[in-house]
Structure 1
Amino acid sequence: MTRIVNHPVLGKLHDRETIPFLFDGTTYEAYENETIAAALLANGIRTLRVHEESGTPRGIYCNIGHCMECRVKVNGQANVRSCLTVVEKDMVVESGKQLPNIVKRMVEQQ
Structure 2
Amino acid sequence: MAETVRIFIDGEALDVAAFTTIAAALAMRSIAGTRRSVSGEPRAALCGMGVCQECRVIVTGRAHVLGCQTLCDEGLVIQTMATPR
> What residue ranges of structure 2 are gaps of 5+ in the alignment?
none
Q: TM-score, normalised by structure 1?
A: 0.70
Higher relative contact order (CA 8 A, sep 6+): 2
> What residue ranges of structure 1 are gaps of 5+ in the alignment?
1-14, 99-110
Contact 2:9/2:79 (8 A) holds in 1: yes
How many residue pairs get aligned? The number is: 83
Deviation of 1:97 after TM superposition, in Å, equals: 4.3
Contact 1:31/1:39 (8 A) holds in 2: no
Q: Does 1:93 align with 2:81?
A: no
Give the number of the structure whose residues are more often helix, by fraction: 1
**Among the aligned pairs, what percent are the same residue?**
36
Distance in 1 (CA, whole Å) between partners of 2:41 and 2:74 is: 30
Deviation of 1:16 after TM superposition, in Å, equals: 1.2
Distance in 2 (CA, whole Å) between partners of 1:20 and 1:83 is: 18
* Large movers: runs of 4+ above 4 Å: none
Distance in 2 (CA, whole Å) between partners of 1:90 and 1:43 is: 16
Q: What one-letter code is carried by the residue in structure 2 that aligns with 1:33? A: F
Distance in 1 (CA, whole Å) between partners of 2:82 and 2:31 is: 15
C-alpha root-mean-square deviation of aligned residues, in Å?
Answer: 1.4
Q: Does 1:76 align with 2:61?
A: yes
Q: TM-score, normalised by structure 2?
A: 0.89
